[in-house]
């Protein structure tokens, strides 16, 4: 836990500096940035507190090694079927597979032409940040997307900025830079095929994709 706190602390300083630079460039969005910083700082504190006090068996198989270095299993395949059994032989669902876990939410939605994470996504990002910080060998891919309005190349850049926003919030919670892979598909792979606000809202998103799902569509 000590190491994780240190990492989280270092990320905080890094992110804080980053935001200070941003304040000058994004003067219009400074208020939101500060607002987010406070929200995240709060969430981080809660996260670290809950990490520090949580006891009991990990929800993932432990083969006797150090807990933090055991990678969580993926969500598919033979391996997963045994992943719920811990040393005590009690069944525990991998939180990545548990539909009731906050980790089941893998979509972060955005406003039109914006890369600002909305307040209602912070809890989801926090849950993923907490999980990933706890398992530093688990990798995650953030796939940024945009709706069809505007030009394709601009939307490609916008999708990347959105994934970057989610990445910064994860790192603020202690997730390591090399745990995160960022990719943007712009408007090329919409989640909904309609040409209306309802579809557009579903398409302006960052998808959080865990390890073994890499490469799938």
Partner 1 sequence: MTFNNVRRAIFAMTLLIIALPAQAVLKIEITKGVQGALPIAVTPFELDPGTVRPPEDIAAIVAADLRSSGLFNPIPRNEFPQHPTSANDVNYQLWRNQGIEKLVLGRLEAISEGGYSVQFQLLDTIYGRQMIGYAIPATRADLRRVAHKISDLIFQRLTGMRGAFSTRIAYVSTQMSEGRKRYVLQIADFDGYNAQTIYSSDWPLLSPTWSPDGKRIVYVSFESQRPEIFIQDIASGNRISVAGPTRLNSAPAWSPDGQKLALMRSENGNPDIYILDLASNNLTRLTDYLSIDTEPVWMPDGESLIFTSDRTGRPQLYRISANGGEPQRLTYEGNYNADADVSPDSREVTFVHNGGRGFHIAVQDLETGQLRELTEGSLDEGPSFAPNGSMILYATTYNGRGMLAAVSADGQVHQRLRLQEGEVREPAWGPFPQTP
Could you say whether residue 182 binds partner 1 (CB under 8 A)? yes
Q: Which of residues 97-116 bind partner 1 (CB under 8 A)?
A: 113
User: Could you tell me which stretch among 8-16, 22-30, 68-76, 97-105 binds partner 1 (CB under 8 A)?
Assistant: 22-30
Contact 153/113 with Cβ under 8 angstroms? no
Would you say 129 and 175 are in contact if contact means Cβ atoms under 8 Å apart? yes
Percent of residues in the chain assigned helix, strand, coil, to nearest 5:
50, 10, 35
Supply the minimum distance, in Å, between the C-beta of residue 193 and partner 1: 10
DSSP 110: -
* 212: number of Cβ within 10 Å: 17
Kindly tell me which residue out of 84, 161, 201, 213 binds partner 1, with binding defined by CB under 8 A. 161
In the complex, the smallest distance separating the C-beta of residue 59 from partner 1, rounded to whole angstroms, is: 30
Beta strands 180-186 and 140-145: pairing type? parallel
Q: How many residues does the chain have?
A: 217
Q: Choose one: 8-16, 100-108, 125-133, 181-189; the region binding partner 1 (CB under 8 A).
A: 181-189
Among 1, 2, 18, 58, CA closest to 168: 18
Under 8 Å between Cβ of 172 and 44: yes
How distant, in Å, are the alpha carbons of 62, 102, 111, 137 from that of 92?
12, 16, 37, 20
Query: Does 41 contact partner 1 by CB under 8 A?
Result: no
Residue range at the interface with partner 1 (CB under 8 A); choices 56-64, 75-83, 99-107, 155-163: 155-163
Tokens of 73: 């299993």
The stretch near partner 1 (CB under 8 A) out of 39-47, 79-87, 129-137, 163-171 is: 163-171
Rank residues 48 and 182 by Cβ distance to partner 1 and give the closer one. Answer: 182
CB of 105 to partner 1, least distance (A): 23
Positions in 123-152 near partner 1 (CB under 8 A)? 148-152
User: Three-state DSSP class for 67?
Assistant: helix
**Residue 137 CB, nearest approach to partner 1 (Å):** 22
List of residues contacting partner 1 (CB under 8 A): 21-22, 25-26, 28, 113, 148-154, 156-158, 160-161, 164, 167-168, 182-185, 188-189, 195, 215
């Amino acid at each position: 836990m000590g190491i994780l706190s240190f990492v989280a602390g270092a990320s905080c300083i890094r992110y804080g500096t980053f935001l200070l630079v941003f304040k000058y460039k994004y003067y219009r969005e400074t208020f939101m940035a500060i607002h987010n910083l406070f929200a995240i700082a709060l969430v981080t504190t809660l996260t670290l507190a809950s990490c520090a006090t949580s006891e009991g068996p990990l929800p993932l198989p432990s083969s006797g090694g150090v807990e933090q270095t055991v990678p969580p299993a993926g969500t598919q395949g033979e391996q997963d079927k045994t992943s719920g059994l811990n040393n005590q032989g009690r069944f525990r669902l991998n939180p990545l597979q548990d539909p009731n876990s906050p980790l089941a939410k893998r979509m972060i939605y955005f406003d039109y032409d914006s890369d600002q994470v909305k307040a209602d996504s912070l809890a989801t990002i926090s849950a993923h940040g907490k999980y990933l910080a706890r398992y530093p060998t688990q990798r995650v891919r953030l796939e940024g997307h945009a709706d069809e309005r505007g030009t394709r190349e601009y939307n490609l850049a916008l999708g990347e900025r959105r994934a970057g926003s989610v990445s910064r919030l994860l790192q603020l919670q202690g997730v390591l830079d090399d745990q995160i892979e960022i990719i943007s598909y712009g408007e090329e792979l919409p989640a909904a095929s309609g040409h209306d606000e309802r579809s557009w809202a579903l398409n302006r998103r960052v998808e959080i994709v865990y390890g073994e799902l890499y490469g799938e569509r």
